[in-house]
Amino acid sequence: MSDPTTTQRLLFPDLLGKRLDVRFDLHHGSSDGGAVLLKAMDRRLGLLDGLVGCLCDERQPGKVRHELIEMLSQRVYGLACGYSDCNDAGRLADDPVFKGLIGRDPIEGEALASQSTLSRFENSVGPRDLYRMAVELADRVIERHRLRKRGKVRRITVDLDVTDDETHGAQQLALFNGLYRAWCYLPLLGFLRFDDEPEQYLFTAMLRPGNAPTKLGCLSILRRILVRLREAFPRARLTVRLDGGFACPELFEFLDDEPKVDYVVAMGKNQVLEQSARRLMAQARRLNRHSGETERLFGVCSYKARKWSHPRRTIIKAEVTQLDGGKPKDNPRFVVTSLKLKPENVYQKYRHRGEIENRIKELQIGLEIDRTSCTRFWANQFRVLLTASAYVLMQELRLRARRTSCARAQVWTLRQRLLKLGSLIEVSVRRVLLRLPAAFPYQDAWCRIAGAVGARAG
């Protein structure tokens, strides 16, 4: 029986001025020709080899058709290219580019793993494997930037934040959260920023139950990452920047005891803090009545919560907001810090924390890190780590795209411009020829990235 994809023909009688026939019969073609860049990025990082070394293969060797590194690569490269679900494996099983990426002959190589095989793979990973993978991911990211910066970094900022991952099934530990008004998980994501670079680099992604308090897992991550950063960057000053949900006595005691570590942590308002801000707020209201616009003033006080061992420096932002002629609204904010800078400068540093929202949006929209539809919690944690790994590769791609038109492109734009390329593969005894469109509009950027990373990968 003939393959319907090779014999089917679509007919448009006069769409282009003459009869137009469309046939799906290009056997050695792919719509993801640019994905070879991902393989080049991974060879630089050694990321997937490091991650697969954290896994234990308990299958019978004689029955193995798909090695762990092949399945891991298939999932990570697929996620980076926009194939977020294991169901996509059926459509990509014979894609020549993906077969080449995992080390098989693009034309004659055996088909890739099926959806059922990948699902069994995801469900075979346990908590110990996942812990080792999380440590390996952070180590690879830190080592990459140690080599890139040659250890010459003045300040490293560590950002942690929580996002919601709504669930729509019977997933383990998917619980109702009153704040988000949904059944969900609450992943904890960690990012690193080196000096004043615009990028924040993902180094960890921890899936947590839907009712987890914000601070859950924060201290364990900080203990590991601060030690590792000091080893890699012994001269750098570290800054931990956190939202108000992380503020707790244990956190502050830990940070106070850490050498060469500063912190900027938001604090929810209460009667004591509002009383400290009373005079500044009165001044801000007077300024607002005079100007009719938003006014803000900054001050500082010494604040000690009931369970704190000692008072700590607290920055006050006394703000009255007024937009488009609306009614003015009081908006006092408070930040606990160890920095000795001017209050407005400290708060400005805290405000930059909002930039990681763009990274979280990329993870959610561009790579669908919230596709946690497995029943087992650990399988969903594995999916989150796979997505985080794909994002690390995409961030490396963006880093390599500096001085090109893709230097600050979002993940979905990078994918569209650099990975989603119609291609034809030809294999001979001596080489593999990847034929890409001559009219490709981002050819210069693609070639510059490929030249920069490919010359060192061989």
| Cβ atoms 159, 356 nearer than 8 A | yes
pLDDT of 302 higher than 50: yes
Confidence at 207, pLDDT banded by 50, 70, 90 = very high
Rounded to an integer, what distance in angstroms lies between the CA atom of residue 397 and that of residue 452? 11
pLDDT of residue 314: 98
pLDDT digits (tens, 9 = 90+) for 391-421: 999 999 999 999 899 999 999 999 999 999 9
**Mean pLDDT lowest for which of 6-20, 107-121, 163-177, 355-369?**
6-20
pLDDT of residue 7: 57
Average pLDDT over residues 383-394: 98
pLDDT of 325 higher than 50: yes
Residue type, 446: W
- Distance set, CA 150 to CA 147, 233, 441 (Å): 5, 9, 35
Average pLDDT over residues 442-448: 93
H or E, element range at 104: none
Average pLDDT over residues 192-200: 95
pLDDT of residue 457: 43
pLDDT of 154 higher than 80: yes
pLDDT of residue 120: 94
pTM of the model: 0.93
Domain ranges of the chain: 31-232+371-434+446-458
Average pLDDT over residues 168-193: 95
pLDDT of residue 253: 96
pLDDT of 5 higher than 60: no
pLDDT of residue 414: 96
pLDDT of 218 higher than 70: yes
Phi-psi region for residue 81, left (φ > 0), alpha (ψ -120 to 50) or beta? alpha
Other beta carbons less than 10 A from residue 26's beta carbon? 11
pLDDT of residue 21: 84
Confidence at 3, pLDDT banded by 50, 70, 90 = low
pLDDT of 458 higher than 60: no
Confidence at 455, pLDDT banded by 50, 70, 90 = low
**Per-residue three-class SS string for 153-221:** CCEEEEEEEECCEECCCCCCCCEEECCCCEEEECCEEEEEEECCCCCCEEEEEECCCCCCCCCCCHHHH
Other beta carbons less than 10 A from residue 252's beta carbon? 20
Higher pLDDT, 13 or 316: 316
pLDDT digits (tens, 9 = 90+) for 126-138: 999 999 999 999 9
